Every structure is written in structure tokens, then in C-alpha cells.
Amino acid sequence: MKPQRWRQTVRTGLLWGAGAVFISLVGLVEALQQRQIITGVISGGHLLLLVVALGAGISAARKHAGTGTVRQLAAAALAGAITGLLPAILVALSTVVNLRSMLVGATPQLFAVLSFARGTDALPWIVLVVAGVSALGGALTLLPGEVRSLVTTGISTLLVVGLMQEQVQLLLQTERTARIREVLFTFDGLTVRGAVLVAVVSAGFSSAWHRQRPKATRRVAGLAPEQRKALRIVGFVAAVGAILILPLFVGPFFSQVLVLVGLYTLMGLGLNLEVGFAGLLDIGFVAFFAVGAYTVGLLTTGSEIAVAHLSWWTATLIAVVVSLISGVFFGLPILGIRGDYLAIATLGFGEIIRLLVLSDFLRPWLGGSQGVLTIPKPVLFGFEFRGPEQLFFITVGASALIAFVAARLRDSRLGRAWMAMREDEDVAQAMGINLINVKLLAYGIGAVFAGVSGAIFAVMVGSVFPHSFSVLVSINVLALIIVGGMGSLPGVVVGSLFLVGLPELLREFSDFRFLVYGAALMAMMVLRPEGLWPSATRRRELHEEVPRIPEGEMVEAQEGHV
Amino acid sequence: MAILVSRGLTKRFGGLVAISQLDLDVGEKAIHSIIGPNGAGKTTFFNCVTGFYRSEEGSLEFNGVSLEGLSPDRITTMGIARTYQNIRLFANMTAIENILVGMHPHLTASWLGAILRTPGTVHEERMAHQQARELLQFVGLRGKGDLLARNLPYGEQRRLEIARSLAARPTLLLLDEPTAGMNPHETIEMMAFIQRLRNELGVTIILIEHQMRVVMGISDLVTVLDYGTKISEGTPRDVQNDARVIEAYLGRRGAVAH
């Protein structure tokens, strides 16, 4: 009926197919194939391709929304067939041309994965299987909302548990939970029985949650104010308690990951204050992280370049002051610089600090490329914060304190001045805001947050090296606040869980970290420019709060958008 | 008594002389209009007064204090506020937040007070919100405090911008074409509103305006600029009949025909 719709379907198929070829050739499929998801049934690489197929189907069917069941399914299958065709062509091509001479990722192992080790005989099957899965994806969009949410929850939980089976197994290693582990897992993947259980149980929980939630909120709303307050306190205490016992349950590996997430959260909170609140783009932010780490290192270390032998707590307080001062000094020369130029100027500063600590000239004081070694662990009332499980408490405490400070600042006169400056610097100044003060405060306070992060980092590693402070750290922090949602405090946590925690857990991804970053950033900018957990302001900026379009036009506009 | 005195003020942009040897006296509690064809230097004059531009020659005094070399924020703190020809609200902040930003120079909360939420800070914030709501009511935007500035209709944005400038508690208010883009009805409302500002709040007003009806209707004194030079000054009636003004607006032939 509408040829352009079908053209669009073909395009969708080609796009997803190109995606499949791309992730295959960069090596992601092959790397993930090493990981069993359901033992003997499916491995990571195939699963990834299946997810691509599902995605193609869902996306194609959505574009045909409202055209009828048959047509939507047909569109999904067609898109899937085209998606499958591209990897199939790749396999066929590999038999006639030596692709590996140009593309290092085009290994025989990859083609074995793509063709299920059946060579060119499998080509029609690749197309058929992908088309079939794609049609299933299309069928998913036809289900009523509730059922769909059940199915998607089940499948996505299964994916998460499958991908992270190693970590989940670690969690279930205690004696009491050993029985659960045996039911769900073999030594390197889920059992079929386990997979079904995980999917069903998670779907059940999700359905119960959705059904009970309105009732619960209504009941809470019906309570007297004192009771509600009591409930809040109970909730708060429970949350704190849960956090306190968390490291006991998750063990050292998870604690280590959580500490890292916490350190990035701290830096994210600082950068968010500069970029998200005040609109001052800063890509040399790692400098303050380095200042914090080096200050603590030099003030506590046992090696001969030590300036003093203070306790970590005193040293951290001094590090806070030193970062504050360095933030202000950093801000002074760039007060008059705006926008793109600011990014370049700050980038320079980050590099200057790294080169300074690396230089031979300062080696007698800063340790040069050998860094500062043997930094003792913090001790409080005889309790030693030995490893990640103990440092976790310091990290959580610092993050909570600093998030609290950031929230208070945001809602203050200073926070309003930052926001005004972000919106329009000239007008903000014409409103009587002293731009110099306000900017230096943003740089100074942001630097303090990063300095605290550095202070913890120094004891976590036990030593400080210049190479820990490359420009990539700044970029990571910037990426995580963009993905989390610019200007949003919970967004910082979500962003660092997503961009720091996840790659740590999925070690296969760590080689592809920057690919995943790039893809995630692009996807975010296109699909959710306001971030995963946007601040109220950001949401307002990017989506009209009160659309002032008449009903009829709105429907059209939405169709056009989808 | 003059609240703002300009003597020989000159502002150049490269070879272009935007304002040339301008002498101007703005009387206290006056509504003083500045008119002139496009490019006559009216907004440039505002930018010089508010410290956004630095003049090359001449002097500007506000209540006897020289404005030379002061930064825009200092000048605002001294009691001069302005609005913009093309509305420049903080579009993604709410109406009340816009006004609170305008109050900035009169608030004293420090960053430490904000973090600790000291009683003084809490009290000040509460008072500030109270005053902001009163200002909203004064400009006829009662109950619209939580709307985003950019979601307000055009006329209300103009009034919010004035409310924001009033929040700085100015004694001199510079209004840059406050009726631009308004329909006749809104224009009449705005005229009455400007008179209220002067009569009820005792604010001196310098008005840049293109609509002659507004200028003639509410001004105490009118200054006419052309190519950065003052060509006429006087009561609305005097200026209206000044041959040089008619010439500037209509050209020489128009003046002859008149």
C-alpha cells in the first residue's frame, strides 16, 4: 500500500544487518562466544546476534504499527531476513576472499560462530533463523502491554543473569545458597532448568510489583503524617543497614567494583557541578583527582619522598583544601573563556598536571614515573580499612555526604546563579551575579569532590602513579554524566554503574569498552538526549513540559516521530 | 535633579561611531524616552550604562558616582536594571526562579550557609520566595510562578522580564522596547503598567520605544537620536513638531511636504 514503508523496512533490515556485521568483525561476537549462557544450548556470541535479530524485528514492526497483525509480522520477518542476509554474505565472502588480510577480526572462529560451524551450507539457515527470531520480535510488539512487560522482564533478567553468571555464582557461593546454585547453574553457565526458573520468577516478581504498587502507594498516602514520617525513617534505616551489610554478601570482587563505581560517582558529582549546574565544560577534570591522590600519597606514604606521615583522615582533609585551591587557581586563567574554547583550555590543564607528576624535574618530590608507593590504609579506632570491602564504607559515606552537599548547593542562591549562568552568561551578570566568584566556586567545589575521590583512590591502590591520570579518565567522567543525565544527581550514580560498573563485570566487554561507550553515547543522544535519569531542568529543556499543540496535530507529530 | 548624567559619551565600533558626544540628563522619577530610527544608538546607550560596553570618551554618572570601568554586576548592585529588546529570560527556569535570580544582589546566603542550611539562610530563602511571589502578583502573573519562562505567552514573558529586573530593587530601570510585538490592547496595558512602576514604586524609567503613541502618551521628556547624535530633546509635543526629527524619520522631502 505504502511503498515508502516497505522501503523503510528494507532500510531497517540493512541497518541492523550492518550492525551485526560490525559487531562480528570487531571481535565482540567471537569474544562473547567464549561465555556459556545456557550450558549446551546457547553461548554469548549467538545470543548477541539473536538480540540483534529481535531488535530488527521490533523496530520494523513498530514502524508498521496500526497496519494489522499480518503486515507487522511480515515486516518484521522481511527486516530480519535482510538483517540475516548481510552476515550470510560475509560468511560466503570469507570462503572466496581472504578477508583476514584486511580485517583482523575476520577469523575462522568468527565464521564458525556465524555459520554454526557448518560453512556455506548454513547460509539459507542463517537468513531463515534470523528472520524467524525477528518475526518473534515483531510478535512481541503485538502483545498487550502487560504481557509484553512480563516477557521482556523475563528475557532481560535471563540475559543479565546469563551474562553475569560468574558473578552471580560468586554471590551464591555460601553454604546456605549452594543448593540454589546447583539448581540454576552448571560450572560455566545456566542450566536449562535454571534459565526457565530465572525467567519465570523474575516475570512473576515484576507482575506482582506492578499489581501491588498502586495499592501500596494508596495505603501510604492514607497514613497520618507522623506515621508516614516514621515509615520514611524506617525505610532510611533499612537502606543504610542494607548498604552496611552489602560487602559481607558480595565479597571482595564486587566490593572492588562498587568502590570503583563510587570513586567515579564522586568525580561525576564534581564534574556535574561544573558542567551540569554551571555550564562550564571541563575536560581536564582528572587533574583534581590527581591532586587529591598525590596529596594523600605524599602526606601518608612510608617511602622516602614522604612530606609527612599523617593519618589518612588528616591527609584527606588537607587534600580537600589543596584541591579547593588548585580548583580556584585552575579557574583564574580561564575565567573569560567560553564554550568550545573552554574545553580546549581545560584539556590542556589536565595534561599539564599529568606531565608535571611524570617529569624527571619533579621526581625528587613527586616520584616521577615510579609514583608514590606504600600508602598505608586508613585506620579508625583500631579498625583498619584493609581492602575493598572496608573501603566500600568510606566510599559510600563520602558519596552520600557529597551528593547531599551538591543537592543543597543546587537548591541555593548559588545554585540558581550557576543555572542562570548556564542559561545566559551575559544576562546573569546583568542580574548582579559576580561571574568571577560564581565560576571560581564552581571550579573549587567541583575540584574538592574529585580530590576526595583521588584520596580514596590512593589508599585503594596503595600507590599513586602518573599513568592513572590520563585524559581518558576525564572523558569517562564526562561520558558518565552525559549518559546519566546532565545536571542530575541520581543520574551520576546510574551513569557510573552503567559505564564503570558494567564493563568491570563483563570482562569480555573491557576490550570493547570505548566501542560500547561510543555506541551508548550515540544511542543516548539519539534516543534519550536527557540521559537515563534526567534532572527536572534537563527534561524540561528537551521535552516540552506542556505541549501547546492542538490534539489533532499532536497525533500527527507523534506518528511522524515514530 | 538628575539621576543619570551623560557628558560627551562616545562609543565606536571600529570605524563606526555608534554614539557621538552624547549629553543626557535623566531626571529623578521621570519617564524619559529615547527614540530614533534603527541604528541610532539607543540600545548601545543602554549597553554603555549597564557596563556591558565600555565607552571611548565622555563620562556617565549615576547619582553622582562615575560608572566608568565598573562591571555589569556592580552597576546592577548600584541600582540600575534593564530589560532586553529580544526577551532574554532564563528560558528553562521557572518564573519564580527567574525572579529569585534577579534578587541575587540583595541576598547574602553563602555557599557554606546553603550546605548547612543555617537558620539565617532558611529565613532569607523564605522571605525571598515571599517577595518573589509578591512581585509576580504585581506584574499580574499570580499563580504562574512554577511555569517555565519559555512556556509563558509573549506578553507575560515581557512582564516577567520586568518583574525580574524589579527584583534587583533598581532606582533606574532601562526598558528596551517593552511593547515590541504587542497588539494594541496589550500595548495600552503595558503603558499603564509602566506608569504604575514610576508612580507606585518611584522608579526612574528610561524607555526605548518605537510606537509613537506610547512615547507621546507617557513620556515626561523625549530625546531623539540619529546616527548616535542627539538631534532633539523636549516634551513629547515639542519633539513632535521639531523639523529635524521629522527629517530624521521621513527624510528631507518628507520634511518639506510636512
Q: Would an 8 Å CB–CB cutoff place B36 in contact with chain A? A: no
The phi, psi pair for B124, rounded to 5°, reads -60, -45
How far apart, in whole angstroms, are the C-alpha atoms of residue A48 and residue A115?
14
| Overall residue count recorded for chain A in this entry | 562
Residue B119 · residue B109 · CB < 8 Å: no
Chain A contact set for B93 (CB, 8 A): 416, 419-420, 423, 537
- In this structure, the number of other CB atoms found within 10 A of the CB of residue B108 comes to 10
Same domain, A261 and A149: no
Same domain, A204 and A282: no
Interchain CB distance below 8 Å, B76 and A408: no
Interface test with A, best of B71, B115, B154 (most A CBs within 10 A): B115
**Residue A152 domain-assigned (yes or no):** yes
How far apart, in whole angstroms, are the C-alpha atoms of residue A515 and residue A502?
14
B92, closest residue in chain A (CA to CA): A541
How far apart, in whole angstroms, are the C-alpha atoms of residue B84 and residue B73?
16
Of B72, B90, B125, the CB nearest to A420: B90
Distance from the Cα of B50 to chain A's closest Cα (Å) equals: 7
Of A408, A420, A548, the CB nearest to B114: A408
Model pLDDT, residue A554: 37
Secondary structure (3-state) at B223? strand
pLDDT in tens, A397-426: 999 999 999 999 999 999 999 999 999 999
Model pLDDT, residue A187: 75
Of B76, B92, B125, the CB nearest to A432: B76
Of A412, A432, A546, the CB nearest to B114: A412
Q: With a cut of 80, say whether residue B76 has pLDDT above it.
A: yes
Distance from the Cα of B237 to chain A's closest Cα (Å) equals: 34
Model pLDDT, residue A508: 61
Looking at A212, A243, A274, the residue that finishes a domain is A212
How far apart, in whole angstroms, are the C-alpha atoms of residue A508 and residue A496?
18
- In this structure, the number of other CB atoms found within 10 A of the CB of residue A95 comes to 12
- Kindly give, in sequence order, each residue whose CB lies less than 8 Å from that of residue A205, ignoring residues fewer than 6 positions away: none
**Banded model confidence at residue B79, pLDDT cuts 50, 70, 90:** very high
Distance from the Cα of B76 to chain A's closest Cα (Å) equals: 5
Model pLDDT, residue A2: 66
Alpha carbon distances (Å) from A297 to A354, A385, A399, B173: 15, 16, 21, 56
Same domain, A202 and A112: yes
The count of domains in chain A is 2
Residue A80 · residue A126 · CB < 8 Å: no
Beta bridge partners of B234: B222
A438, closest residue in chain B (CA to CA): B111
Q: Would an 8 Å CB–CB cutoff place B111 in contact with chain A? A: yes
- Kindly give, in sequence order, each residue whose CB lies less than 8 Å from that of residue A53, ignoring residues fewer than 6 positions away: A16, A80, A83, A84, A129, A130, A133, A134, A137
Same domain, A262 and A318: yes
From the list B213, B193, B230, B185, the residue with the least C-alpha distance to B34 is: B230
Secondary structure (3-state) at A84? helix
- CA B103, chain centre distance (Å): 16
pLDDT in tens, B85-100: 999 999 989 999 999 9
**Residue A440 domain-assigned (yes or no):** yes
Strands B204-208 and B172-176: parallel
**Residue A559 domain-assigned (yes or no):** no
Residue B231 · residue B248 · CB < 8 Å: yes
Chain A contact set for B90 (CB, 8 A): 419-420, 423-424, 427-428
Same domain, A374 and A444: yes
**Residue A255 domain-assigned (yes or no):** yes
Same domain, A181 and A303: no
**Residue A545 domain-assigned (yes or no):** no
Interchain CB distance below 8 Å, A427 and B84: yes
- Quick one: average pLDDT of B136-155? 90
Interface test with A, best of B76, B101, B125 (most A CBs within 10 A): B101
CA atoms within 13 Å, Cβ hemisphere of B136? 22
Of B104, B111, B148, the CB nearest to A433: B104
Interchain CB distance below 8 Å, B168 and A427: no
**Residue A183 domain-assigned (yes or no):** yes
Same domain, A156 and A289: no
Looking at A212, A241, A272, the residue that finishes a domain is A212
Same domain, A300 and A410: yes
Model pLDDT, residue A509: 65
Containing structural domain, residue A118:
2-212
- Kindly give, in sequence order, each residue whose CB lies less than 8 Å from that of residue B110, ignoring residues fewer than 6 positions away: none
Alpha carbon distances (Å) from B164 to A503, A537, B81, B224: 48, 19, 9, 28
Same domain, A52 and A107: yes
From the list A323, A477, A359, the residue with the least C-alpha distance to A331 is: A323
B75, closest residue in chain A (CA to CA): A432
Q: Would an 8 Å CB–CB cutoff place B117 in contact with chain A? A: yes
Within chain A, which residues score under 70 in pLDDT?
A: 1-2, 507-510, 537-562
DSSP-assigned letter for residue B3: E
C-alpha cell at A284: 581536564
**Residue A98 domain-assigned (yes or no):** yes
Interchain CB distance below 8 Å, B90 and A414: no
Residue B119 · residue B127 · CB < 8 Å: no
Looking at A477, A498, A519, the residue that finishes a domain is A477
pLDDT in tens, A284-327: 899 999 999 999 999 988 787 778 888 889 999 999 999 999 99
| Overall residue count recorded for chain B in this entry | 258
Spell out which chain A residues touch chain B, with contact meaning CB-CB distance below 8 angstroms. 405, 408-409, 411-417, 419-420, 423-424, 426-435, 441, 445, 537, 540-541, 544-546, 548
Residue A107 · residue A30 · CB < 8 Å: yes
Interchain CB distance below 8 Å, A431 and B50: no
Chain B contact set for A449 (CB, 8 A): none
Same domain, A190 and A303: no
Q: What average pLDDT is seen over chain B?
A: 90
**Residue A524 domain-assigned (yes or no):** no
Interface test with A, best of B43, B82, B90 (most A CBs within 10 A): B90
- Kindly give, in sequence order, each residue whose CB lies less than 8 Å from that of residue A152, ignoring residues fewer than 6 positions away: A140
From the list A272, A270, A315, A262, the residue with the least C-alpha distance to A457 is: A262
The secondary structure of chain A in percent helix, strand, coil, rounded to multiples of 5, reads 75, 0, 20
- Kindly give, in sequence order, each residue whose CB lies less than 8 Å from that of residue A329, ignoring residues fewer than 6 positions away: none
Beta bridge partners of B25: B5
C-alpha cell at A406: 551538591
Model pLDDT, residue B194: 93
Q: Would an 8 Å CB–CB cutoff place B154 in contact with chain A? A: no
Q: With a cut of 50, say whether residue B255 has pLDDT above it.
A: no
Same domain, A26 and A78: yes
Secondary structure (3-state) at A308? coil
- Quick one: average pLDDT of B24-43? 92
Model pLDDT, residue A386: 80
Of B77, B90, B111, the CB nearest to A441: B111
How far apart, in whole angstroms, are the C-alpha atoms of residue A66 and residue B247?
67
Percent pLDDT > 90 in chain B is 64
Same domain, A176 and A308: no
